[in-house]
Chains A and B, each alone.
Chain A
């Protein structure tokens, strides 16, 4: 047994390792068990302390492995090989033929169900996309038709507007011509009135000035002057 002794000395903590060989004693041989134990009581006690796996001296004596003389810790033990190997093989057989196939069957069924769901979802998505494409094509057709109708309506409207405008322009023109003729007639009437009034006034003034009525020639000259002055 390896013993490490740690103590606090004058120069700090001191550690020393010692191998305690006095505690190691060979397992009692069968022929020694019959003999006198009195001389080895202390050594026997040390031996019991050393043999950890055994509860009693009898266990230690019966064992073929005293504590420090046990089998190599590296070498496998037959009972561990048999129990360990047997347990593993039993587990393997159960897993291979019963447990894993059943678990796998359930997993495969679920995966197939999920896969089926995916496929259905893909099909639904493809159908929806086809419907959307179809709808968009129909929409484009309707839009084109609507655009045609709107253009036709616009053309009709523009023609009607042009015709109406021409009509209105013609009406305005005729009204304007009539108004102008009326105004011209009124002016001519007014000029005639003014001319006769001026001729009368002039004749009266001349008659008063010269004491006799002006001749027709004078009246004609006055009328000419009037006409030329009024027109200018």
Chain B
């Protein structure tokens, strides 16, 4: 007989504080910020007039990725001023996602709600601020009466736009990142437990042979999580760019 015990969700998400008010998620977030800072510090110290190589090449590749793949399609050339913010956002989210597949750590900081929520609220403040700066109170006016929409539809479209801009956008930004990373983390835990129970603790040759399946899935899901971590950082960042761009230029 084989008993597979699935731990409660809190058991795989919550960690004992490293010291009061500082836990593993906080450690990952601080480490992400530090690693990002160190990469760009080293890159910035190298001579930029020569052909880039090593860390500087990597940092410039990140900058060009954000500029060409995120800002240009979402905001156009006028959005280049947002490169530092979007670059920081992308790097921070990706470095918070990455520990989900690093052995020993095995915990994406974004699988907890705090960081996605903070970032979503920050993005919300930024794009509402940009809207108010560029359009004044007309920003809210455009939500109530979107340009190009027949006046008869204002009572229908207006509330939807207000709800979408002020509530759904930040909510979906936070939940999309959090839920994807949490789901990936739970899947990895599930396949790890199944592999351990069947191959290591299994008292029957059939269970041990069957254990190859969850192990294969564990490998597959780990590789998939590399892609998911990158993709979620990219999606969060490009949506931020789209929201800021639409606040700055409502005609688009």
Contacts and interface: CB of A to CB of B under 8 A. Distances in A.
A84 B40 contact: no
A103 B43 contact: yes
Interface stretch (A27-35, A72-80, A136-144, A206-214): A72-80
Contacts of A95: 36-37, 40, 84, 87-88
A103 B40 contact: yes
B116 to A, nearest CB: 8
B44 A5 contact: no
B155 interface: no
Given A80-B23, A110-B48, A88 B92 contact: yes
Interface in A81-96: 81-85, 87-88, 90-92, 94-96
A13 B48 contact: no
A80 B44 contact: no
Given A88-B119, A99-B44, A109-B49, A80 B88 contact: no
Contacts of B85: 92, 96
B83 interface: yes
A91 B6 contact: no
A81 B117 contact: yes
A191 interface: no
A44 B109 CA distance: 32
B33 interface: yes
Interface string A107-132: 10110010000000000000000000
Interface string B83-118: 111011001100010000000000001001111011
Contacts of B3: 3-6
A106 B48 contact: yes
Given A88-B118, A91-B88, A99-B44, A53 B11 contact: yes
Given A74-B113, A107-B63, A68 B48 contact: no
Nearest to A99: B40
Contacts of A105: 48
Contact of B83 (A55, A82, A91, A100): A100
Interface in B115-162: 115, 117-119, 122
Given A5-B3, A83-B22, A92-B88, A99 B113 contact: no
Given A76-B114, A90-B33, A106 B49 contact: yes
A2 B10 CA distance: 13
A3 B49 contact: no
Contact of A4 (B4, B14, B25): B4
Given A76-B114, A77-B114, A109 B23 contact: no
Given A1-B8, A80-B109, A100-B63, 17 more contacts: A3-B4, A6-B2, A53-B14, A53-B15, A74-B178, A79-B26, A80-B29, A84-B29, A87-B33, A88-B115, A88-B118, A91-B88, A95-B37, A100-B87, A103-B43, A103-B56, A106-B49
17 contacts: A6-B3, A53-B10, A53-B16, A65-B10, A67-B8, A68-B8, A79-B23, A87-B29, A88-B88, A92-B85, A95-B84, A99-B41, A99-B44, A103-B44, A103-B56, A106-B47, A110-B50
Interface of B: 1-11, 13-17, 21-23, 25-26, 29-30, 32-34, 36-37, 40-41, 43-44, 46-52, 56, 59-60, 63, 83-85, 87-88, 91-92, 96, 109, 112-115, 117-119, 122, 178, 182, 204, 206-207
